[in-house]
């Protein structure tokens, strides 16, 4: 019994079909599950889904694939593609024939220990791939969160600077704006009763003082909210 398959690529030779490409089949090999391989190929943007029509577990899937591809080169779509224009029964027969030869070259196949080693290896590989994908997702989430936080920090810093500058400018102003005096002067030159004009001018100036005091009070509140020093 041959118990050492370490130099071979133990795995599957598969035959995939896709309703979107009628008349063609895909023949390949994998050391993982053929169904996983089919799902992987279906996620590459091709139309339709790949389905496993036939597969067989052999001692050296790479060798079987290579020989089958050579057997069917007359109906191969392209040398760098695994597509073949061949009927399913013929494709299955070609794979089975070369698989039988490959297994016959390894007395005792399938050896339970070898199969178990392959399954264990595949399970470990699947776990490692799942962990790699999980870590990649974590890194992507962390990068996205960091980018978001940096953006928020820049926005807050810009807002902080704007609040500081605008409130400083407001608090540096006088107790009343020039516009108030201009408006008050307007009342004094308007034709009418002098007493009314004087009262209107005084009210305008008083309102200007109140408005400026209110603006400065709001500026101080804003600086306190942003923990800015008093000015």
Mean per-residue pLDDT pooled into runs of 10, the chain (231 residues): 55 94 93 90 84 93 96 91 94 96 82 66 76 88 91 91 92 87 78 75 88 91 90 82
Cite the beta strand spans of the chain per DSSP E.
Answer: 11-18, 25-30, 50-58, 83-84
The reply to whether 49 falls in a domain is yes
d(CA 13, CA 127): 22
Q: Last residue of a domain, which of 88, 109, 130?
A: 109
Length of the chain, in residues: 231
Cα-to-chain-centroid distance, residue 120 = 31
Structural domain that includes position 37: 11-109
User: Based on the domain organization, do 157 and 178 belong to the same domain?
Assistant: no
The reply to whether 76 falls in a domain is yes
Q: How many structural domains are present in the chain? A: 3
Q: Last residue of a domain, which of 89, 109, 129?
A: 109
Does the reported pTM lie above 0.85?
A: no
Q: How many CB atoms lie within 10 A of CB 26?
A: 21
User: Based on the domain organization, do 104 and 15 belong to the same domain?
Assistant: yes
Question: DSSP assignment, residue 76?
Answer: B
**Local structure of 106: helix, strand or coil:** coil
User: Based on the domain organization, do 187 and 117 belong to the same domain?
Assistant: no
The reply to whether 2 falls in a domain is no
């Amino acid at each position: 019994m041959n118990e050492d398959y370490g130099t071979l690529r133990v795995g599957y030779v598969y035959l995939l079909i896709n309703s979107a490409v009628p008349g063609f089949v895909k023949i390949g090999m994998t050391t993982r599950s053929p169904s996983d391989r089919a799902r992987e190929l279906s996620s590459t943007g091709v139309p339709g889904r790949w389905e496993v029509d036939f597969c067989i577990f052999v001692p050296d899937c790479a060798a079987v694939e290579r020989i089958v591809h050579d057997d069917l080169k007359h109906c191969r779509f392209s040398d760098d593609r695994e597509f073949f224009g061949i009927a399913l029964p013929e494709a299955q027969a070609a794979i089975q024939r070369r698989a039988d030869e490959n297994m016959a070259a390894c007395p005792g196949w399938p050896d339970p220990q070898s199969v178990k080693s392959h399954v264990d290896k595949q399970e470990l590989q699947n776990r490692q791939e799942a962990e790699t994908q999980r870590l990649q997702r974590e890194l992507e989430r962390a990068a996205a969160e960091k980018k978001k936080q940096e953006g928020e920090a820049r926005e807050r810093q810009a807002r902080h600077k704007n609040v500081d500058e605008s409130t400083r400018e407001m608090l540096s102003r006088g107790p009343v704006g020039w516009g108030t005096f201009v408006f008050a002067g307007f009342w004094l030159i308007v034709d009418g009763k002098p007493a009314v004009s004087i009262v209107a001018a005084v009210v305008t100036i008083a309102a200007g003082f109140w408005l400026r005091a209110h603006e400065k009070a709001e500026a101080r509140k804003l600086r306190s909210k942003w923990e800015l020093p008093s000015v």
